[in-house]
Amino acid sequence: MRIKNPLNGFKYAMEGVAHVFRTQRHMRFHFLVLFLVLLVSLVSNRNRTEVLVLLFTVTLVLMAEMFNTAVEALVDLVTQTYHPLAKFAKDIAAGAVLITVMNAFVVGFLLFFGGSEWPDITGPLGLREPKWPTVAAVGFILLAVLVTMGKVRGGRGKLWKGGVVSAHSAIGFFLCVTILYVSRSIAAAALAFAMAALIAQSRVEAKIHTVMEVVTGAIIAVALSVAVYWFIVPP
């Protein structure tokens, strides 16, 4: 009788994790968030209890995403035609992921911003105040020129739809950095960043741009706006 390798269970489990990572875009995003959260927790000197809470919370999100993928695969195996119960099963599994993500967001917010850190991030930063709106107008014109050149050079898409650079993403992140320098508040900049990220995500979801195209627009906008406000604005 053949003796089973005790490591086979571990190997099969790792194959399952690898399959979800390869096939599920949300799982890759969750892993990226896990990496960033751990990096920020190390940089911000979180204590051991806070790091454990963060790890447990993010692990719940990863587990929920994997169970969601397993439920979807099982439903697709049973039926390939539309059935209300199949829809309910997939919707409920997706709802479980949503709940864990919302819980992770609340936990992360409370750990990073719910204590003594809140007065620090809502207070004014020591940034040089730009001569609003002259410098912002100049920066916006420069951004429009760069994005237009990128679209023309790419040879596809229209000026405000499609192309190798997302103009909507670029404008969103340009305004995000502008809000940071005008308000000189990390909290206001964080809210602006969230809106800019939603704009970029909507362009990808609408299949107007790829992830690389919206990221390119964001990088161009952030680099240009920081250069304008930091190097052009007099101290």
pLDDT in tens, 145-157: 777 776 666 555 5
pLDDT in tens, 120-142: 554 555 555 555 556 667 677 77
- Annotated catalytic residues are 65
**Residue-wise pLDDT tens digits, 48-100:** 788 788 888 888 888 888 898 889 888 988 888 888 888 888 889 888 888 88
CB neighbour class for 220 (10 Å; exposed up to 12, middle 13-18, buried from 19):
buried
User: At a CB cut-off of 8 Å and minimum separation 6, what does 158 contact?
Assistant: 151
CA-to-CA separations, 152 to 18, 158, 164, in angstroms, rounded: 39, 9, 9
CB 111 within 8 A of CB 54: yes
What is the per-residue pLDDT across 21-39, written as a single tens digit (0 to 9) for each? Answer: 788 777 777 777 777 777 7
Q: Where are the alpha helices (DSSP H) in the chain?
A: 8-23, 25-43, 48-78, 84-113, 117-122, 134-154, 167-183, 186-205, 211-227
Query: What value does the mean pLDDT of the chain take?
Result: 76
